[in-house]
């Protein structure tokens, strides 16, 4: 009788659990959160646990084989290079060119906005190289979070994760508010006329935008229903964007005048770089596309073509569109909210403003859909690691999408979009994005020159020293330029140190890792250049961006010390008899490296 009961119990436990569940164990299954006693014990061990997590490194196979099991159901592999290229195009074009060009040309760069876009595009392309090498070798949904966790450790990955989520929330909110502005111009209203003004709220947070909230809810619902369907809708709609771009460039050059290009750089080089730092937000779609690697049929071929091809094309498109806008209106006459619509109206093509506004709305809509796809996958991998509750990692068995993760980002974005203005959102998002891309370049150099269980302690110290020279000189260059734009003596010190750091890596360190399919060329020079450009653009941002970034980072650290630290520690040190065990049975009680070894044996 007992054997029958045990068999029945075993069969019952094998039954798949319902996706729609929300018990305490789904959110906090770790030992530290079982009760107040275990939590207090965990808090008292915070110091030793932090040291453990700071020194811990994940592995390629752990991210690929172990963490994916946390989702219970797999993401569907249904995308090709064609899908990735248009996902990148749909995400990026419409986010920046229609939203920020007018604002930055009017306030900072003038007609030199073309140069600002070229600088941001170069920096973005260098980051694309780094993302592509990682995504080909570690095709998981986590994108930069997973890559940093492998090379720089749990703590750095958590800081990046917090900024990834901040970027996702802020970026979607800013795009949704711009959707409202352009919709208002279509119906011949002032861009702010559809918002609700609350005089008692602080400036920058006093224009409530309920339309942006509705747009976010609709577009993210489309993303939740299925990856393949959302991708098809995106690339078909993006063909409309191509036609619109051709029209804008040709019409702008025909109706515009080269006289409007003077003065070319009214705010000087400082304005150009300041605009470039903000415009970098316009290129952030590609990192969302990198999170689709887990759903790509042939990552080794599709990802390089999709990411590098699309980013090269987008940089050229941005420069041409910025030039056409500058030719139609002088920089001080450009409308900061609906630049292209108002510009066409100023050259006598009033009818064209409706076409441009409708096209911009289309671009923003597809941008929100692709953003919704990517943001949810970032969140899924972060939840798989238990840095946030693993409930958000669950993938729906029918749609093959992480609905809970998508809901988390959607609700947060909607709350931010309701209150915050575009200028507040763009500066915060740009700093977070630049910071993550800088870390990605550092991680790539570490991956190439730090062989786990191969490199000696001396070689690791050398690598740390040379990276310190590269990063420190890049920061020095940025600080010196921001304080003395016309000076050159400081650069005669910082730039040679940067060069020496790169030569040091090339001469004194053997390369330990060689990419098998696709790799970044000219390592360490190109990743180091990416580090320098990203830090330089960060230094070009205003003080308010750093204050907001600092506040957000402080909030992240508080959460990590009281929650994320203990959850990830428990997962890494789970014992076989612990309740709420969330790891694969073969990996219980093992560290990350041990778990990987077990996975390798199991596969063989």
440 vs 563: CA distance, rounded Å: 25
In this structure, of 231-235, 281-285, 399-403, 519-523, the range with the lowest mean pLDDT score is 281-285
Q: What is the 3-state secondary structure (H, E, C) of 145-159?
A: HHHHHHHCCHHHHHH
Residue indicated by tokens 């079982």: 34
b/e map 206-230, b = 16+ CB within 10 Å:
ebbbebbbebbeebbebbbebbeeb
**Angle subtended by helix axes 227-255 and 299-328, to nearest 10:** 30
Angle between helical axes of 422-449 and 268-279 (0-180°, round to 10): 80
- How would residue 8 be classed by pLDDT, with cut points 50, 70 and 90? very low
CB–CB of 277/348 below 8 Å?
A: no
Q: In whole angstroms, what is the distance from residue 265 CA to residue 144 CA? A: 35
Contact 386, 567 (CB under 8 A): yes
What is the phi/psi pair of residue 296, to 5°?
A: -95, 135
Residues 14-63 have pLDDT tens digits of 556 788 888 888 898 999 999 999 999 999 999 999 999 998 888 888 88
Phi, psi torsion values for 349, nearest 5 degrees: -105, 65
Tell me the pLDDT band of 432, cut-offs 50, 70 and 90.
confident
pLDDT tens-digit series, residues 289-332:
788 888 888 888 888 888 888 888 889 989 999 999 999 999 98
Q: Which of 87, 169, 559, 124 is nearest to 376 (CA)?
A: 169
Distance of alpha carbon 467 from alpha carbon 464, whole angstroms = 5
pLDDT digits (tens, 9 = 90+) for 92-121: 776 567 768 888 999 989 999 999 999 888
CA gap 559, 568 in Å, rounded: 13
What's phi and psi for 468, nearest 5 deg? -60, -40
Phi, psi of 94 (to 5 degrees): 120, -30
8 A C-beta contact, residue 565 and residue 32: no
Alpha carbon separation from 308 to 82, 151, 289, 313, 369 (Å, rounded) = 12, 23, 11, 9, 21
Q: Which helix (H) or strand (E) holds 130?
A: helix 113-137
φ, ψ for residue 172, nearest 5 deg:
-65, -40
306 in Cβ contact with 84 (< 8 Å): yes
Cα gap 208→202, rounded to integer Å: 12
Cα 125 vs. chain centroid, distance in angstroms? 14
Which one, of 373, 374, 392, lies nearest residue 382 by Cα? Answer: 392
pLDDT at 126 over 60: yes
Mean pLDDT of the chain: 82
- Burial class of residue 136 in the structure, from the number of CB atoms within 10 Å of its CB (0-12 exposed, 13-18 middle, 19+ buried): buried
Alpha carbon dihedral 203, 204, 205, 211, in 10-degree steps, equals 130
Residues in the chain: 604
Residue 465 has pLDDT above 50, yes or no: yes
Backbone angles phi, psi at 452, to 5 degrees: -65, 130
Peptide bond into 263 cis (omega under 30): yes
Give dist(CA 205, CA 186) in Å, integer: 24
- Quote the distance between the C-alpha of residue 185 and its chain's center: 30
For residue 105, how many other CB atoms are within 10 A of its CB? 28
Q: 131 and 291 in contact (C-beta within 8 Å)?
A: no
Which are the contacts of 585, defined by CB distance < 8 A and separation ≥ 6?
none
The CA distance from 227 to 250, in Å, is 35
**Pairwise pLDDT comparison (229 vs 509), residue with the higher score:** 509
Higher pLDDT, 92 or 204: 92
Using one digit for the tens of pLDDT, what is the confidence trace for 438-462? 999 999 999 999 988 788 999 999 9
Tokens of 69: 């099991």
pLDDT at residue number 11:
42
- Look up the pTM and report it: 0.80
């Amino acid at each position: 009788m007992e054997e029958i009961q045990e068999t029945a119990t075993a069969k019952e436990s094998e039954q798949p659990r319902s996706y729609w569940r929300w018990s305490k164990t789904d959110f906090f299954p770790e030992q530290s959160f079982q009760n107040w006693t275990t939590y207090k014990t965990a808090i008292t061990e915070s110091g030793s646990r932090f040291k453990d997590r700071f020194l811990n490194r994940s592995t390629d196979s752990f991210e690929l084989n172990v963490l994916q099991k946390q989702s219970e159901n797999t993401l569907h592999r249904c995308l090709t290079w064609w899908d990735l290229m248009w996902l990148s195009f749909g995400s990026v074009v419409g986010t920046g060119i229609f939203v920020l060009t007018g604002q930055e040309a009017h306030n900072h760069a003038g007609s030199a906005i073309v140069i600002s876009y070229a600088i941001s595009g170069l920096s973005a392309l260098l980051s694309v190289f780094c993302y592509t090498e990682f995504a080909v070798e570690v095709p998981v949904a986590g994108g930069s979070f997973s890559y940093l966790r492998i090379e720089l450790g749990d703590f750095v990955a958590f800081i990046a994760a917090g900024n990834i989520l901040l970027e996702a929330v802020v970026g979607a909110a800013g795009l949704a508010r711009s959707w409202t502005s352009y919709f208002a111009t279509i119906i011949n209203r002032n861009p702010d006329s559809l918002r609700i003004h609350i005089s008692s709220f602080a400036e920058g947070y006093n224009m409530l935008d309920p339309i942006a909230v509705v747009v976010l809810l609709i577009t993210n619902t489309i993303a939740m229903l299925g990856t393949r369907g959302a991708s098809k809708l995106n690339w078909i709609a993006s063909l409309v964007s191509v036609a619109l771009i051709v029209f804008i460039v040709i019409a702008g050059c025909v109706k515009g005048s080269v006289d409007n290009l003077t003065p070319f750089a009214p705010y000087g080089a400082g304005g150009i770089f300041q605009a470039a730092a903000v415009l970098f937000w316009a290129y952030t779609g590609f990192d969302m596309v990198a999170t689709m690697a887990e759903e790509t049929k042939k990552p080794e071929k599709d990802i390089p073509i999709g990411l590098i091809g699309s980013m090269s094309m987008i940089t050229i498109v941005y420069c041409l569109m910025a030039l056409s806008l500058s030719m139609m209106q002088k920089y001080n006459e450009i409308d900061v909210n609906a630049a292209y619509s108002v510009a066409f109206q100023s050259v006598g093509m009033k009818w064209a403003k409706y076409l441009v506004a409708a096209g911009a709305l289309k671009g923003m809509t597809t941008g929100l859909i692709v953003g919704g796809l990517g943001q949810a996958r970032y969140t899924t991998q972060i939840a798989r690691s238990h840095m946030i509750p693993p409930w958000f990692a669950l993938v729906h068995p029918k749609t093959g999408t992480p609905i809970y993760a998508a809901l988390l980002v959607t609700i947060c974005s909607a709350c931010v979009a309701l209150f915050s203005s575009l200028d507040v959102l763009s500066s915060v998002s740009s700093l977070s994005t630049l910071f993550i891309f800088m870390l990605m370049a550092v991680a790539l150099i570490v991956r190439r020159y730090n062989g786990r269980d191969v490199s000696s302690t001396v070689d690791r110290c050398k690598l740390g020293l040379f990276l310190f020279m590269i990063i420190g000189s890049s920061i020095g260059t940025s600080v010196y330029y921001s304080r003395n734009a016309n000076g050159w003596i400081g650069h005669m010190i910082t730039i040679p140190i940067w060069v020496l750091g790169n030569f040091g890596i090339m001469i004194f360190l053997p390369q330990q890792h060689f990419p098998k399919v696709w790799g970044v060329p000219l390592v360490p020079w190109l990743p180091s250049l990416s580090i320098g450009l990203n830090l330089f653009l960060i230094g070009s941002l205003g003080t308010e961006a750093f204050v907001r970034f600092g506040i957000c980072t402080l909030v992240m650290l508080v959460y990590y010390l009281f929650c994320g630290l203990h959850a990830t520690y428990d997962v890494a040190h789970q014992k076989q008899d612990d309740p709420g065990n969330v790891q694969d049975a073969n990996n219980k009680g093992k560290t990350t490296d041990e778990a990987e070894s077990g996975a390798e044996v199991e596969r063989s």
